[in-house]
Amino acid sequence: MTPLLQRLYHLPLVGWVLRHRFPRFAVVGASGTVVNLVVLYLGQEFLFRAIEPEGTRLNFSLSLAVFVATINNFTWNRLWTWHDRREHIRTPVVLQFAQYGVACWLGILLQFVITKLLVGHVHYLVANVVAIVIASVANFVVNDNWTFGRLRLLLRRARHHAHAHDKPADPPRD
């Protein structure tokens, strides 16, 4: 491990993110970008080629690309990033996918707002990269705590722990 990475691991928030699931989440996000681009290309050049005007075709292609990439990311995050939580979370997969979708849209909204706020101070591409990083971390936190149930696991453990301490002590045996 490089000295820079070792230093980063010791920073409270950065270290927590790097040591835990975020690297897997980032790899899944990168795969989703590739899926999005491939589906967008296929939609524009083949699937929706007959749709005119071109702007309408792009709307169809983008919609399909985002939808397929979202399914890709949800599936890989469920199977790989948060694989250890599947047996503990009793949320139906359709509801979990809906939660994931809401989390994604919140991330998109956050990215949009941050980009717009920063663009008056830095180049729009720099503003967008900063916004993407912030929105990605926020998206990770929402998915970690809500979609894939970290909060539910912690609450369940706390209730179990509280109930264990509420039980009266066994009477002494003579």
| Residue extents of the structural domains in the chain | 1-81, 88-167
Confidence grade of residue 143 (pLDDT, cut at 50, 70, 90):
very high
Tell me, rounded to whole angstroms, the distance of Cα 39 from its chain centroid: 20
The mean pLDDT value for 123-137 works out to 92
What pLDDT does 170 receive?
57
Tell me, rounded to whole angstroms, the distance of Cα 7 from its chain centroid: 25
Residue 171 has pLDDT above 60, yes or no: no
Single pTM value for the model: 0.75
Please give the Cα distance from 30 to 11 (Å, whole number). Answer: 25
Confidence grade of residue 54 (pLDDT, cut at 50, 70, 90):
very high
Helices (H), the chain: 3-10, 12-19, 22-42, 54-76, 93-118, 124-142, 150-166
What pLDDT does 173 receive?
59
What pLDDT does 97 receive?
95
Determine the length of the chain. Answer: 174
> The dihedral of CA 51, 54, 59, 61: what is its sign?
positive
Residue 120 has pLDDT above 70, yes or no: yes
Residue 70 · residue 100 · CB < 8 Å? yes
